[in-house]
Chain A
Amino acid sequence: MPGALPEGEPWPESNTLVPQAEGDRSFHAYVHIPFCEVRCGYCDFNTYLQSEIGGVKQATFETSLVQEVDFSASVLRDSGFNLAKLSSVFFGGGTPSLFAAAQIGTVLDSLRERFGLSSEAEITLEANPESLSLEKLEELAGFGVNRISFGSQSFDPSVLAVLDRRHDPSKLQPLITAANKIGLRTSMDLIYGAPGESMQSWQETVEQAIDHGTEHISAYSLIVEPGTKMNRQISSGELPDVDEDLNADKYEWMTEAFESAGLDWYEISNFGVPSVHNLAYWSSQDWWGYGPGAHSHIAGNRFWNRKHPAAYQAALNAGSPAAGIERLTDRQRLEEELMLGLRTKFGVRKQLFTDLGTPPAEVARQIGLGNLKPDGNRIVLTKEGRLLADGLAVNFLN
């Protein structure tokens, strides 16, 4: 069962949005492909095996997505928004590479037609090595995809087994080499802190990942979510619990390794050439999330779609796929700016602390403790502070 959606207000019957925030923002699209061949034991994302889905078919699902693109265009037009062209599109999941290249192409075409794509637009597809081939890479590039994010997670077979990942890590290198060769930008996703993963196993994964030659690496510490199979395995003692101190060691070690390989840190879990799409989340740009359970942010409105593909489809046919909306108050936007901005290498503006009413002494104290440092008119995390970002944000809000 996927995790619960946040509570919110109902989507407005008028199908229009009222801006809650001023200012210029770039515009992005997230497209959720809710299909997987296997459900991984740690996963609580909104994804479904073919057998779970009932009535909604992977082979034709792009028509639903196009239907939502049309819907979003009319909502934004009726609300009077004058949006920039899309700066990025991100196909996530699930396993987007399960879609045929032509299906991806259809969705991209409709986005291009409705909103336009900026000439520099970053168009990423998450891919699982099992559902990708050299031919498919070329096809995707032909439809406009210019960045592939490979879900490799680990190079240690025993860790992959704990994560329920069934791919063969040796298949990655040829795919990445080929992608780079035809001019696709490449990224790799890693997960550290799987139960039983040793420091040495992680170091080897990091070294191999660097050797694969992607321009970007995301390394996420495993979060054991309630309701997942892994959570049950840990509660029953079948798997050892996650050791957060060891994770801190792993984080520090990998940061050094990535940076000496030229993959510079720019967000808590992200290294290398920054992803425009990724940064959009942390700087509260505008984006529309398409597909079941996808989240959107437009001018201080956060809203999200119904989770189950069948429910999503039914709601979309009836008018709007949205399950709820949250209109951010000024205070909430400031708090988000802190919580999100602190995570990136750009940090937050100094004035934000005044706006939030954080005592200057508290900021000074954290600078003194070596967790933060001033950088021009901004405050950014130090290397030591990166691992404490959430705790620091809570501190500053009290």
Chain B
Amino acid sequence: MSPRASKALEPSLTPPQQLRNFCIIAHIDHGKSTLADRMLQLTGIVNERQMRDQYLDRMDIERERGITIKSQAVRLPWELDGTSYALNMIDTPGHVDFTYEVSRSLAACEGAVLLVDAAQGIEAQTLANLYLALENDLEIIPVLNKIDLPAAQPEKYAEELASLIGGSPEDCLRVSGKTGAGVSELMDLIVQRVPAPEGDAEAAARAMIFDSVYDPYRGVVTYVRMVDGKLSPREQIQMMSTRAVHELLEIGVISPEPTPTKGLAVGEVGYLITGVKDVRQSKVGDTVTNRQKPAANPLQGYAEPKPMVFSGIYPIDGSDYPDLREALDKLRLSDASLVYEPETSAALGFGFRCGFLGLLHLEIITERLEREFGLSLIATSPSVVYEVTKEDGTELVVTNPSEYPDGKVKEVREPMVKSTILTPRDYVGTIMELCQTRRGSMIDMQYLGEDRVQLRYRLPLAEIVFDFFDQLKSKTQGYASLDYEDDGYAAGDLVRVDLLLQGEKVDAFSAIVHKDKAYGHGVRIAGRLRELIPRQQFEVPIQAAVGSRVIARETIRAMRKDVLAKCYGGDISRKRKLLEKQKEGKKRMKMVGRVEVPQEAFIAALSSDDSKTAGKK
């Protein structure tokens, strides 16, 4: 076993030959954060007293959901055969919504630890990131984790990994993040196998931004990988995409807390602080250079984040609108991919149309808005971006179903994705059926091992944004995994289905669906709303309509009795508590015309899983 580095190397003065930059590619739950915890302990940069689980996950939501949303880059000292090394571990986000951020993290490394749960095998997300890593020419170190589990089958999955990346199954290292077994060997292997960074130390400075995090006390903290040259404190730096100039107030490395240094030299990984307050002034993928001695060309791969799904976010209480605006403005400081603009709904009043990278991103943002800013919100059903050509030839981009033009249109195009699904062989039939009903067309199918199959389908994005993933999981007992990428637009035979309460169209419930599914959609939504909307003092007819044609109809009967018979021997306190509880409940209701609609109806109505809501009395 290698000792901890007896003498840590000083940042800015570390020769590239003694640097190793690597990341860990893993599926959610495959134990990446736990493995990272062990590395922190093993290298001695976090002592027992400071240690806590998932040390590097900073947001509450990250810990609770067990996922990484923001990247981290930690400098770990290590010694092998008498030479000290500095290992930079770049922790990458682990969700399909954040693929672009993953690609930038990978671009900052020379090697990747491919971490796979020895009881579960590789999953689609991991495979997708593995392909990304291979595209970036990273050295791949296959590792099976959780070998301490009784259900672990390291031989079987070593075979699978070998067939994916070449080499022999014996090359696959076996570790346990939980017990720490094999972690020290893994550190040695990283030093031996991952190439040292190459760059021109004398050239003009070029640093690639692979993450940018907002800190309420320090402003934006930007994570960079030095590709060429060197950056030092108090230099003037320039962002190559925007030409904006900032002063470098602080530069340093994370080990595991931010530590200022005399600079960052070629090949090193660290952070910059310039005092800017908005992450969009320091965008992921951008190149940082020295203003006095600027580089001629930026590094490759910069792209603006592109929202994939849109949803209307409205305060339940209209008077919270200014607070919502302020909260979004604050969140945007830490999330460059969040876009929003004001919109008005006839049913919901003033709100914002927000664009998200995906559904998880939407959930995280709405959860943060409610939790961190104390707002009660309604998020309308997510929609993708449609391109519409009207009869008169004018073009229209629709992010909100209620903006979809009435009457005939010449053509509608919807976004498509190329999806990859990994599954045990037994579920292939079920998955093909699911993809079929979601208007998918198969691209190909191949066996990865004796019982694992990769299915690739082209699907409309709209068919998978809502509950495809849940359905896939439930139909395969959780075994199948999904990844997808953008695959352009395709014309579709689409119509807008409207929902009417008491004869009034409720724009927030409108949806764009395929013509063949309009009827089923209308019947389902009307039925769900009948369950979700409580009885009112008057009868509430619910209708679903395409244009002026009503395709489904339900009725919420009037509430006839809403009074308790008595109080118990003068226990008025109990009765008042009950009243206060009902009053609170009402605050979670949105008045739509004269009808009180509960918050959850706006999204739950669209879910196809009927078992989720209990039957109404």
Contacts and interface: CB of A to CB of B under 8 A. Distances in A.
A387 B561 contact: yes
Contacts of B537: 369, 371, 388, 391
A294 interface: yes
A269 B538 contact: no
Contacts of A245: 557, 560-561
A390 B570 contact: no
Contacts of A336: 572, 576
B52 interface: no
A387 B562 contact: yes
A223 B572 CA distance: 16
B549 interface: no
A221 B538 CA distance: 22
Contact of A390 (B562, B569, B574): B562
A326 interface: yes
Given A336-B576, A397-B579, A397-B583, A287 B563 contact: no
A332 B576 contact: yes
Interface in A250-304: 251, 268-269, 281, 284, 287, 289, 293-297, 302, 304
B173 to A, nearest CB: 54
A359 interface: no
A200 to B, nearest CB: 20
A335 B565 CA distance: 18
Interface in B517-557: 537-538, 557
B570 A297 contact: yes
B570 A369 contact: no
B567 A281 contact: yes
Contact of B563 (A45, A295, A369, A391): A391
Nearest to A398: B586
A248 interface: yes
Nearest to B580: A335
A241 B616 CA distance: 12
Contacts of B573: 6, 8, 295, 302, 304, 326
A95 interface: no
B566 interface: yes
A244 interface: yes
Q: Is the interface of A mostly helix, strand, loop or mixed?
A: mixed
Nearest to B582: A394
A157 B141 CA distance: 80
Given A244-B561, A268-B563, A388-B563, A45 B568 contact: yes
Nearest to A44: B568
A389 B566 CA distance: 12
Contact of A223 (B538, B564, B571): B564
Interface string A72-102: 0000000000000000000010000000000
B561 A247 contact: yes
Given A335-B576, A339-B576, A397-B583, A220 B569 contact: no
B560 A335 contact: no
B570 A289 contact: yes
A220 B565 contact: yes
Contact of A248 (B560, B569, B571): B560
A336 B578 CA distance: 12
Interface string B215-250: 000000000000000000000000000000000000
A30 B565 contact: no
A393 to B, nearest CB: 6
Interface string A225-253: 00000000000000001001101100100
B587 to A, nearest CB: 8
A340 interface: yes
B193 interface: no
A297 B569 CA distance: 11
A193 B572 CA distance: 23
Nearest to A32: B569
A165 interface: no
A369 B559 contact: no
A70 to B, nearest CB: 21
A308 interface: no
A369 B572 CA distance: 28
Contacts of B567: 281
Report, as a range, how many residues of chain B touch the other chain: 20 to 34
Contacts, number: 106
Contacts of A222: 565
B575 interface: yes
B569 A398 contact: no
A289 B579 contact: no
B65 interface: no
Contacts of B617: 241, 244
B569 A388 contact: no
Contacts of B560: 244-245, 248, 387
Contacts of B563: 268, 343, 386-391
A369 B538 contact: yes
Interface in A105-148: none
Contacts of A304: 571, 573
B49 interface: no
B569 A30 contact: yes
Interface string A6-19: 10100000000000
Nearest to A277: B570
Nearest to B571: A295
Interface string A366-385: 00010100000000000000
Contacts of A6: 571, 573-574, 577
B592 to A, nearest CB: 15
Most A-side CB within 10 Å, residue of B559, B563, B582: B563
A322 B415 CA distance: 68
A294 B583 contact: no
Interface string B492-518: 000000000000000000000000000
A314 to B, nearest CB: 21
B564 A390 contact: yes
Given A244-B617, A295-B573, A391 B564 contact: no
A336 B562 CA distance: 17
Nearest to B579: A339
Interface in A320-354: 326, 332, 335-336, 339-340, 343
A239 to B, nearest CB: 15
Contacts of B557: 245
Nearest to A94: B569
B608 to A, nearest CB: 28
A3 B571 CA distance: 11
A335 B572 CA distance: 11
Given A369-B538, A390-B579, A394-B586, A248 B572 contact: no
A295 B567 CA distance: 11
B246 to A, nearest CB: 50
A16 to B, nearest CB: 20
Contact of B569 (A268, A289, A339, A391): A289
Contacts of A389: 562-563
Contact of B570 (A295, A387, A397): A295
Contacts of A295: 568-573
B537 to A, nearest CB: 6
B575 A251 contact: no
Nearest to A189: B566
Shortest 9 CB-CB contacts between residues of A and residues of B: A391-B562, A248-B560, A220-B565, A6-B573, A295-B570, A389-B563, A248-B561, A387-B561, A390-B563
Given A45-B569, A245-B560, 16 more contacts: A3-B568, A6-B577, A32-B569, A92-B569, A221-B561, A222-B565, A223-B565, A244-B617, A287-B570, A295-B569, A295-B572, A304-B571, A343-B563, A389-B563, A391-B559, A397-B579
Interface of A: 3, 6, 8, 30, 32, 45-46, 92, 218, 220-223, 241, 244-245, 247-248, 251, 268-269, 281, 284, 287, 289, 293-297, 302, 304, 326, 332, 335-336, 339-340, 343, 369, 371, 386-394, 397-398
20 contacts: A6-B573, A220-B565, A220-B566, A248-B560, A269-B566, A281-B567, A284-B572, A295-B573, A304-B571, A304-B573, A340-B572, A369-B538, A387-B560, A387-B561, A388-B537, A390-B579, A394-B579, A394-B582, A397-B579, A398-B587
